[in-house]
Protein backbone atom coordinates (compact mmCIF):
# COMPACT_ATOMS: atom_id res chain seq x y z
CA UNK A 1 0.00 0.00 0.00
CA UNK A 2 1.76 3.15 -1.24
CA UNK A 3 5.16 1.63 -0.41
CA UNK A 4 4.18 0.51 3.10
CA UNK A 5 4.91 -3.03 4.29
CA UNK A 6 2.19 -4.80 6.30
CA UNK A 7 3.30 -5.89 9.76
CA UNK A 8 3.70 -9.59 10.55
CA UNK A 9 2.22 -9.47 14.07
CA UNK A 10 -0.44 -6.84 13.30
CA UNK A 11 -1.67 -6.24 9.76
CA UNK A 12 -3.15 -2.87 10.73
CA UNK A 13 0.34 -1.49 11.52
CA UNK A 14 2.42 -0.77 8.43
CA UNK A 15 5.89 0.68 8.00
CA UNK A 16 7.78 2.37 5.19
CA UNK A 17 11.44 3.37 4.98
CA UNK A 18 12.63 6.49 3.19
CA UNK A 19 16.44 6.60 3.31
CA UNK A 20 17.11 6.50 7.08
CA UNK A 21 13.61 7.61 8.14
CA UNK A 22 10.94 5.11 9.18
CA UNK A 23 7.26 6.05 8.92
CA UNK A 24 4.62 3.98 10.76
CA UNK A 25 0.99 3.88 9.66
CA UNK A 26 -1.74 2.59 11.99
CA UNK A 27 -4.98 1.89 10.16
CA UNK A 28 -8.28 0.84 11.71
CA UNK A 29 -11.46 0.97 9.59
CA UNK A 30 -11.66 4.69 8.79
CA UNK A 31 -9.17 5.97 11.38
CA UNK A 32 -5.60 6.37 10.25
CA UNK A 33 -2.57 7.68 12.08
CA UNK A 34 0.97 7.89 10.80
CA UNK A 35 4.12 8.95 12.55
CA UNK A 36 7.81 8.98 11.81
CA UNK A 37 11.08 10.43 12.93
CA UNK A 38 9.98 13.55 11.08
CA UNK A 39 6.97 14.45 8.98
CA UNK A 40 7.70 13.68 5.36
CA UNK A 41 5.81 15.72 2.80
CA UNK A 42 6.37 12.96 0.23
CA UNK A 43 4.44 10.50 2.44
CA UNK A 44 1.50 12.90 2.72
CA UNK A 45 1.53 13.46 -1.05
CA UNK A 46 1.48 9.71 -1.76
CA UNK A 47 -1.40 9.11 0.66
CA UNK A 48 -3.43 11.97 -0.86
CA UNK A 49 -2.66 10.71 -4.39
CA UNK A 50 -4.09 7.31 -3.41
CA UNK A 51 -7.43 9.02 -2.72
CA UNK A 52 -7.24 9.47 1.05
CA UNK A 53 -7.85 12.73 2.85
CA UNK A 54 -5.13 13.77 5.27
CA UNK A 55 -5.39 16.11 8.22
CA UNK A 56 -2.00 17.01 9.71
CA UNK A 57 -2.11 17.57 13.46
CA UNK A 58 0.66 18.11 15.93
CA UNK A 59 0.46 16.19 19.19
CA UNK A 60 -1.97 13.28 19.05
CA UNK A 61 -3.96 13.07 22.30
CA UNK A 62 -6.71 10.61 21.38
CA UNK A 63 -6.89 7.66 18.98
CA UNK A 64 -9.61 4.97 18.88
CA UNK A 65 -11.01 6.14 22.22
CA UNK A 66 -7.63 5.86 23.95
CA UNK A 67 -6.04 8.84 25.64
CA UNK A 68 -2.39 9.17 24.62
CA UNK A 69 0.33 10.97 26.54
CA UNK A 70 3.94 11.34 25.37
CA UNK A 71 7.06 12.16 27.37
CA UNK A 72 9.77 12.95 24.81
CA UNK A 73 12.55 13.26 27.40
CA UNK A 74 11.92 9.74 28.74
CA UNK A 75 10.98 8.43 25.26
CA UNK A 76 7.77 6.93 26.65
CA UNK A 77 4.09 6.95 25.77
CA UNK A 78 1.01 6.06 27.81
CA UNK A 79 -2.35 4.78 26.60
CA UNK A 80 -5.42 4.93 28.80
CA UNK A 81 -9.19 4.84 28.85
CA UNK A 82 -9.86 6.42 32.23
CA UNK A 83 -12.72 8.48 30.74
CA UNK A 84 -14.56 5.23 29.92
CA UNK A 85 -14.07 4.00 33.50
CA UNK A 86 -15.50 7.27 34.83
CA UNK A 87 -18.55 6.82 32.58
CA UNK A 88 -19.06 3.30 33.96
CA UNK A 89 -18.88 4.59 37.53
CA UNK A 90 -21.45 7.28 36.75
CA UNK A 91 -23.75 4.77 35.07
CA UNK A 92 -23.46 1.81 37.44
CA UNK A 93 -22.32 3.50 40.69
CA UNK A 94 -21.80 1.07 43.57
CA UNK A 95 -21.68 -1.97 41.31
CA UNK A 96 -18.27 -0.93 39.98
CA UNK A 97 -16.78 1.26 42.72
CA UNK A 98 -16.09 -1.73 44.98
CA UNK A 99 -14.31 -3.76 42.29
CA UNK A 100 -10.62 -4.55 42.65
CA UNK A 101 -8.19 -2.55 40.53
CA UNK A 102 -5.56 -4.18 38.36
CA UNK A 103 -2.55 -2.71 36.61
CA UNK A 104 -1.92 -4.12 33.16
CA UNK A 105 1.46 -2.87 31.92
CA UNK A 106 2.48 -3.37 28.31
CA UNK A 107 6.05 -4.10 27.34
The pLDDT value recorded for residue 37 is 64
Q: Largest alpha-carbon pair distance within the chain? A: 56
Mean pLDDT of the chain: 79
Render pLDDT for 16-67 as a digit per residue (tens, 0 to 9).
887 777 888 888 787 777 777 665 677 778 778 888 777 777 677 887 888 8
98: Cα separation from own chain's centroid = 31
Residue 99: what are its φ and ψ, rounded to 5°?
-70, 150
* Local structure of residue 99 (DSSP, 8 states): S
Cα distances (angstroms) measured from residue 89 to each of 45, 85, 106 = 45, 6, 25
pTM: 0.53
Amino acid sequence: MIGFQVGVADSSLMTCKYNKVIVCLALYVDDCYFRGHKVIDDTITKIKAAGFSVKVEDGLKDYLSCNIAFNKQQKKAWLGQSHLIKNLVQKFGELVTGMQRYRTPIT
